[in-house]
Structure 1
Amino acid sequence: MRRVVHGPRPEAVPTLITRACLVVGLLDIAAGAFPRFRHSRMHTLAEVLPGTLGPFAAALALSSGVLLLLLAHGLRRRKRRAWRAAVVLLPIGACAQFAYRHSFAGVVIPLVLLWVLAKHRAQFDALPDPRSRWRALANFVVMGAGSIMIGLLIVSVHPRRIVGDPSLADRLQHVLYGLFGLDGPLDYTGSASRTVGVSLGALGMITALTTVYFAFRPEHPAARLAEDDESRLRALLDKHGARDSLGHFALRRDKGVVFSPSGKAAVCYRVVSGVMLASGDPIGDVEAWPGAIERFMDEARAHSWTPAVMGCSETGGEVWTRETGLDALELGDEAVVDVADFSLTGRAMRNVRQMVKRIERAGYETRVRRVRDLGPAELDRIRRAADDWRGTDTERGFSMALGRIGDAADGDCLIATAHKSDADGPGPFGDLRAVLHFVPWGDAGVSLDLMRRDRAADPGMNELLIVAALQAAPKLGISHVSLNFAMFRSALARGEKIGAGPVLRAWRGLLVFLSRWFQIESLYRFNAKFRPRWEPRFVVYRSSKDLPRIGWAAMRAEGFVNMRMPGLLRRRTPEPRPCAHTRREEEASAA
């Protein structure tokens, strides 16, 4: 016989409890904000309570409701600490409802939810996230705005007890004073003054305490690439690095890594806004990829992170979707130039050819060398120039950026530089005017990492250096060069062709509009100059509703959204943290 399942599916329980918690939180806020009713069945029983308990019960109900709303996100993500806090707050809110509003429903509903939480305790087992101090400032802004709105509600729901007819400015001033525990310009008759004052003071205290908690709580460090892990990754890249042009970018030291049980494959990732974001294909033997992917998914489940992969190849996307049941969506195309087929001759290369010749006539010369062939002084000059010429406050890049130049361990990286001796004398970095940095792609390829140039130099520096790198490639044993990644390239290309439909043209128009802030069309046009072959890249995701969150996490990881906080709120550089799977193995061996 078929077994009949009663109640919701286990995986749906956290979502249902989260919704119920939101309802209870709003009820608690309403209970603390609005005057109590005197026609409740429980009023007679509540009359035996001390009269001074009412204002404090209102503030307690209000505080419990606000904190329950803050905990809702953690409950939805099955966080153990959010469960513990909710178990404490629910009975407190129920007691406050009884003492102030004398509401039967306000007591029973939180207690029923408390029973449900206790029954489904096993569903809330997710480990903590890496902690970022920027949440303290975010909490202060959100809580401050919410407290002002709730405060305006509190001071306005006692119209019959307000002396006079205060303006909105007077009410706002009273709220701001009350959040700091001071008396405002409004006068109330009876006990309303005490109730309003205590409630506003409670809101201000909750705002201050939660902000202090986020700013100074003990840190749970983010995963980072340890020296031993980096050595293991380099060994895998030596054997299998030619398979993926993004493989070397796995050596970014702000990434974590999980290895397959055999150690023959690995997935590198970073956690951003609750999204466990991998980039490119797994590193290592393709046959060992499923084991590394399984470890990646185990880590995501252990922390209740949203798994996602940015920029994997078609083969990588097929393995990810087959092994995990995730979906894949084409994100854009990578431009790859085959050195043997590259030439400046022909009508198609006319613009590039003319630009390069014009710059060369202006007195520029180029040099293309391996990092190991450069001296320490020149490497230092190139690093300083690259930092100075960076157009943003923070280093951009994640999936196709290494995040460093001239490291001793990266001797195979390629640096192309442009030089010019000006009549006015050397600049702050000597005769250096532009830099391109490439990382290895196996033994016979390189991938473009960064492009930097002096803003005062002649335009066309990037084109000049790419051509120089392609022309020098045969002597360096390089047969293929990966250039920039062009997002939504196929949509831009098809949308401008004759016969494109209205939907495709509208989509292309939106991309062109967004290119004012993000280099979407400009990167596509720049890459297309060199007549590359286009290799599709994909984003792998669990559900379409996760795409906005994944997009936000990717923008933060790539540096398009700067979340750097003032020095006091910045997290110190954490020590490397082992993954959840490794910690479980260590605990088992210790036992």
Structure 2
Amino acid sequence: MAPVAPYRVSEGFGSNCQVVEQVGQDALVVRSSHFMAVMRRLAGPLLSAVLLCLALWALHSLASEVSYSEVSHYVHDLQGWQIVVAMALTAAGYMVMTLYDWYGLKSVDFALPRREVSLISFISYAFSNVLGMSLLISGSIRYRYYIQAGLTNTQIARVVLYCTGAFWLGLCALTGVTLLLVPLPEELPFAGLRIPVAIVLTLVPLTWVFGSRIIRRPIKLWRWHAVLPKPGPAFRQVAIGAVDWWLAASVLYVLMPDDANSGFGHFLAVFVLAQMAGLISHVPGGLGVFEAVMLAGFGAAGNEGLEAPILGALAAFRVVYYLLPLCAATLMVLLREARTLTKKSMVPPWFAGLLPPFFAGLTLVSGAVLLFSGVTSASPGRMDMLRGVLPLPVLEASHFLSSVIGMMLLILARGLQRRLDAAYVLTLVLLVIGAVLSVLKGVAYAEAALLSLLALALAPAHRHFYRRASLFTSTFSVGWILAIIAVLGCTTWLVVFSLKHVEYNSSLWWEFSFRHGNAPRALRALVGAAAAGLLFALAKLIRPMRTRPLPPSNADIQRALPLVKSFNSSQAHLALMGDKTLLFAPGDKAFVMYDIEGRSWVAMGDPVGEDEAARREIVWSFRELCEQAGGWPLFYQVRPDDLDLYLDMGMHLMKIGEEARVKLADFNLDGKSRKSLRNIVNKLHRDGLTLQIVPPEDVAALLPILKPVSDAWLHDKHVREKGFSLGGFDERYLVRTPMAVAWLDGNPVAFANLLLTDSKEEASVDLMRHLPDGPAGIMDYLFIELMMWARGEGYRWFNLGMAPLSGLRNRRMAPLWNRFGAMVFGRGERFYNFRGLHQYKEKFGPEWEPRYLAVSGGIGLPVALTNVASLISGGLTGVVRR
């Protein structure tokens, strides 16, 4: 019912005390700014938690005379035709929801198979209706699918705006028209504002539909320009949302008691107002808020004494409209996973990437179901059935342990989201045990079926949970912690509600009985679940804090050296500079090299290593290390082949340029286009210029001779040594790689250190310097001679390095970053000759491959780029110096 925008949030917060000590008084500003950023991230989850508490308090007040048994009886007494009709209307509602995405894709002229769109729409809405926006699962599902389907970030944003617009426009239209036609009970506090509110709400969709006839120019909203659609598409957008809401209301209307039936119009007015209140509260699914407004609305209409039937109808509505679609989505996943056992290619990559967050969300729901079931009364008939076949201690232990398992599933859901292997195994075991305990504690067959179904769906998905890290090392975001606390809070409210007519005394804790033990069992179950959560939190708190990373030691570089040489990208050699911290995967099968600037933890390139599982694990470990320190993870200059590593973590990808790679098998100096290069090489050969490839063991003796060449080059260019993504004239670095030296009359005039891969996949250079008064064309000569040498040695590619901002397009609908980058690339010669660098490399005939910056949500692009530039230039002062 509610489309959720794809977005991501940065999880974790903190401050670095070492930085505060170093900067002194200026740290107050930094800490104040950081504190405000933290408070902005906390504001949404905390507000939702407060509103949920208020809603539960209001529910408790409105249903003060209602007993749990009365609600339960109404649910069990519902007619079969009511359930069938409600399920049919629910199916129709979810079919209408697929039109959000279908016409949203049409609005950006992007065609996708209807079956795939329907599948992703159904799974997405099944979760967004149950979980709302709190865990971001629905947004992750939609973003991952569309980005892998080929949509750009701008197109995804437009689709989401279309869906969100249709959703709200439909709600405004239905609410406004209903309030205009149907009077509200005068007892309601806002009844006097019915007509003004109705007019305002009705004008919103009317303006949207017919506004293009009046307003023909784009509407400027801050830095955005919006063009109103034509009446036909706009009306269709409003109609889809209105039909969606009408069907949702019809589901509940069918389940309502006859005594509360004062006409569909009055019911619809209360329903849409309750849904609007639930949406504004941002509580997942409007839980508690929706029910409180519904009770208040019908109570004001003279339906005193019907609180229990209304609450029963609302509970049945939650099951039919929310939980049953969730179970259906689980079945679909089960079928798709089963097909992978016989034909792996039948499951598209985008679907496989959705499974971890899907199972995480479903495990969270299953844990909540176990907790809620553990504190509510079991059917007396089922308890009588168990009395004859089951000893009382087994019943009591099953009831207590099922609640503890429920809390453990809430915690393990986070591990599933983080792809932890241990979380997968534990979840699978606990689901099976929980299903057995559900039968033993009260013949809860529906509950056992849900847990068994999830276990069956999860069983063949082991390959998607590849991380070997401990659950205790995973960070829990504020939103996730509040979600667990909210479930525990709702469980506590259920205990109070279901036991309101039971007189409390200390002896209740020690009473054990089949027929009269519901209250003691509920109390013990609540305490057991809370204790399990507190023990896990305590175990997390007593773990030692990580210290700020230090530069690598010689031993660390020696550990990295085999991985560097065997990796298929020469960029890995930058780890040998010693200016970046190295984070190793277990078994030293992969590592990430990174440095810190401000709160940005910037990893240089992709993880280094050939073991795919180790590479995935180290990326997640790096992110968790950042979160524990309150930092922002960034990956600079990542390749297209590894983009799924960062999409799995929910990171944004932004193109920052293109890398020039020459295919050596096709490189030669033949043809008219290479005439100038041939002339340079021939002339310098005639002048006596020679090139020598010096092995690493002989480089140290040459460095004192090459140092004046390097110093003269730096002085002539008015620059200082760079770092991070570029090498410097450092003996510890240069002696680890071969050196190419150009000699003239026995003196070195130019040199470059060679970055070579043992697999012969790629060769490149890093530090390339020459005398300012050396022979003209010396750089071209070095590149050509080295490419010829590398081809003769059997290397496949020669990497000329990245051309920043290359390949960005300044189109009307392109993202703002692409348009800005394209403008700087074309007109920014005053700051840096981006276009000239691209043109220089283009003459060697390279193949251009895009490079990206992967950033987490919560960090602005200007901040990320500034921090990366500061690392490369050795500080902010180096950024502004040429």
Q: TM-score of the superposition, structure 1-length normalised?
A: 0.53
Using the TM superposition, give the Cα deviation of residue 562 of structure 1 relative to its aligned residue in structure 2, in angstroms. 4.8
Report the 3-state secondary structure (helix = DSSP H, G, I; strand = E; otherwise coil) of the residue aligned with 1:310. strand
Quick check: which has more Rg, 1 or 2? Answer: 2
Using the TM superposition, give the Cα deviation of residue 271 of structure 1 relative to its aligned residue in structure 2, in angstroms. 0.2
Residue 484 (1) aligns with residue 801 (2): yes
Match among 516, 540, 548 for residue 830 of structure 2: 516
CA contact (8 A) 1:241 1:248 kept: no
Letter in 2 for 1:377: A
Using the TM superposition, give the Cα deviation of residue 123 of structure 1 relative to its aligned residue in structure 2, in angstroms. 9.2
Using the TM superposition, give the Cα deviation of residue 246 of structure 1 relative to its aligned residue in structure 2, in angstroms. 1.2
Q: Cα deviation per residue 1:239-287 (whole Å; 9 max; x = unaligned)?
A: x412x23111122201112222343221110001221000111011222
Quick check: 298-307 or 229-238, which moved more? Answer: 229-238
CA contact (8 A) 1:267 1:283 kept: yes
Residue 417 (1) aligns with residue 741 (2): yes
Residue 277 (1) aligns with residue 237 (2): no
Match among 715, 721, 724 for residue 395 of structure 1: 721
Residue 321 (1) aligns with residue 281 (2): no
Residue 75 (1) aligns with residue 8 (2): no
Using the TM superposition, give the Cα deviation of residue 472 of structure 1 relative to its aligned residue in structure 2, in angstroms. 1.8
Matched residues, number: 350
- Judging by fraction of residues, say which structure has more strand: 1
Quick check: 68-77 or 312-321, which moved more? Answer: 68-77
Using the TM superposition, give the Cα deviation of residue 68 of structure 1 relative to its aligned residue in structure 2, in angstroms. 6.0
Residue 303 (1) aligns with residue 632 (2): no
User: Aligned equivalents of 2:751 and 2:607: distance in 1?
Assistant: 29
Partner of 1:241: 567
Residue 336 (1) aligns with residue 661 (2): yes
Partner of 1:286: 612
Using the TM superposition, give the Cα deviation of residue 76 of structure 1 relative to its aligned residue in structure 2, in angstroms. 4.4
User: Aligned equivalents of 1:533 and 1:552: distance in 2?
Assistant: 29
CA contact (8 A) 2:570 2:755 kept: no
Match among 754, 772, 777 for residue 455 of structure 1: 772
Match among 745, 748, 760 for residue 432 of structure 1: 748
Matches within 5 A, 1:180-191: none
CA contact (8 A) 1:248 1:441 kept: no
Matches within 5 A, 1:69-218: 69=29, 71-76=31-36
User: Aligned equivalents of 1:531 and 1:546: distance in 2?
Assistant: 36
CA contact (8 A) 2:805 2:821 kept: no
CA contact (8 A) 2:659 2:849 kept: yes
Residue 258 (1) aligns with residue 575 (2): no
Letter in 2 for 1:541: V
Matches within 5 A, 1:221-240: 223-238=550-565, 240=566
Partner of 1:197: none
Q: Any gaps of 5 or more consecutive residues in structure 1?
A: 1-9, 16-64, 80-121, 125-219, 422-429, 565-591
User: Aligned equivalents of 2:652 and 2:733: distance in 1?
Assistant: 39
Letter in 2 for 1:539: L
Match among 365, 368, 390 for residue 692 of structure 2: 368
Q: Cα deviation per residue 1:89-126 (whole Å; 9 max; x = unaligned)?
A: xxxxxxxxxxxxxxxxxxxxxxxxxxxxxxxxx999xx
User: Aligned equivalents of 2:27 and 2:739: distance in 1?
Assistant: 53
Matches within 5 A, 1:380-391: 380-390=704-714, 391=717
User: Aligned equivalents of 1:354 and 1:509: distance in 2?
Assistant: 35
CA contact (8 A) 1:259 1:295 kept: no
Using the TM superposition, give the Cα deviation of residue 346 of structure 1 relative to its aligned residue in structure 2, in angstroms. 0.9
Letter in 2 for 1:366: T
Identity level (%):
22
CA contact (8 A) 2:664 2:797 kept: yes
User: Aligned equivalents of 1:345 and 1:337: distance in 2?
Assistant: 15
User: Aligned equivalents of 1:406 and 1:485: distance in 2?
Assistant: 25
User: Aligned equivalents of 2:763 and 2:560: distance in 1?
Assistant: 18
In the superposition, relative to structure 1, how do residues 380 and 77 fare at CA in structure 2: closer, same or farther (>3 Å)? Answer: farther
Match among 536, 551, 570 for residue 865 of structure 2: 551
Using the TM superposition, give the Cα deviation of residue 69 of structure 1 relative to its aligned residue in structure 2, in angstroms. 4.8
Q: Any gaps of 5 or more consecutive residues in structure 2?
A: 1-8, 15-24, 40-475, 479-546
User: Aligned equivalents of 1:12 and 1:313: distance in 2?
Assistant: 25
Q: Cα deviation per residue 1:365-418 (whole Å; 9 max; x = unaligned)?
A: 13131433636432321234223322345312422x23345648854x232222
Using the TM superposition, give the Cα deviation of residue 532 of structure 1 relative to its aligned residue in structure 2, in angstroms. 1.1
Using the TM superposition, give the Cα deviation of residue 420 of structure 1 relative to its aligned residue in structure 2, in angstroms. 2.4
User: Aligned equivalents of 1:333 and 1:556: distance in 2?
Assistant: 21
Matches within 5 A, 1:463-482: 463-482=780-799
- Judging by fraction of residues, say which structure has more helix: 2
Partner of 1:169: none
In the superposition, relative to structure 1, how do residues 69 and 510 fare at CA in structure 2: closer, same or farther (>3 Å)? Answer: closer
Report the 3-state secondary structure (helix = DSSP H, G, I; strand = E; otherwise coil) of the residue aligned with 1:535. strand
CA contact (8 A) 2:755 2:765 kept: yes
Letter in 2 for 1:557: L
User: Aligned equivalents of 1:561 and 1:466: distance in 2?
Assistant: 30
Letter in 2 for 1:438: L
Query: Which one scores higher on RCO, CA 8 angstroms, separation ≥ 6?
Result: 1
In the superposition, relative to structure 1, how do residues 258 and 455 fare at CA in structure 2: closer, same or farther (>3 Å)? Answer: same
Q: Cα deviation per residue 1:287-308 (whole Å; 9 max; x = unaligned)?
A: 2112101210111111111111
CA contact (8 A) 1:366 1:416 kept: no
